[in-house]
Structure 1
Amino acid sequence: MAWVSLVLAGLCEAFGVITINKLNNSRNWQSLLLLNLGFGASFLFLAYAMKTLPMGTAYAIWTGIGSAGGALLGIMIYGESKDWRRIACIALILVAAIGLKLIG
């Protein structure tokens, strides 16, 4: 269950990153609420996961899912660059997160 919680934490982190851009584009209370809900849920899921998982592994995977997810959502939603080198770097982040799971 800790791994499911950690993946949810990473997905909420990616959602929070996307809502930062939404808040910059339209400063309203709905955008601010979504931002707080995304990051708040992310921290709650991360805290739950860290009751079982080692802190270093949990944090690395959480940030990896959040950063890779944020980059992928930026490509899909905001039309950011789809350069193959960028995609390769995102893949490296995900491979490293999976490697930590397999080792730990």
Structure 2
Amino acid sequence: MAWLSLLAAGIFEMAGVAMINKWHNDRKWQSFLLLLLGFGLSFLFLSFAMETLPMSTAYAVWTGIGASGGAILGMLFYNEAKDWKRILFIAMVLGSAVGLKLVS
């Protein structure tokens, strides 16, 4: 269950990052509220995961999901560069997160 909580935390982290960009572009209170909700739920689920998982593993995986997911969202929805080097390094970050799961 801790790993599912950690996955949810990473997904909400991605949502929070996407809402930063949305709020930066439109400055609507709804975007800001979604930003706070995304990050708030991210921290909540991270805290659930850390009840079972070691802090170092949970934080590294959560950060990896958030950073990689944010980069992927940028490429898909905000026309950021999609060259093979970016994709390679995103894959390396995600591979590291999977590796931490396998050894935990």
The alignment's TM-score, normalised by the length of structure 1, stands at 0.99
* Aligned 1:80-99 pairs, distance under 5 A: 80-99=80-99
- Distance in 2 between the 1:52 and 1:23 partners? 34
Amino acid paired to 1:44: L
Once the two structures are TM-superposed, the CA of residue 74 in structure 1 deviates from its matched residue by 0.6
CA distance in 2: counterparts of 1:20 and 1:97, whole angstroms: 24
Given the alignment of the two structures, is residue 67 of structure 1 paired with residue 63 of structure 2, yes or no?
A: no
Map 1:1-104; keep pairs closer than 5 Å: 1-104=1-104
Partner Cα distance (2:67, 2:15) in 1:
10
CA–CA distance in structure 2, aligned partners of residues 82 and 69 of structure 1? 14
Gaps of 5+ in 2: none
Deviations 1:27-53 (A, max 9, x none): 010010010010000000000000000
Shift >6 Å, 4+ stretches: none
Distance in 2 (alpha carbons) for counterparts of 1:15 and 1:89? 21
TM-score after normalising by structure 2: 0.99
Q: Using the alignment, how far apart are the partners of 2:18 and 2:84 within structure 1?
A: 22
TM-fit CA distance, 1:79: 1.0
Question: What is the alpha-carbon root mean square deviation over aligned residues?
Answer: 0.4
Measure, in 2, the Cα distance between the counterparts of 1:30 and 1:77. 19
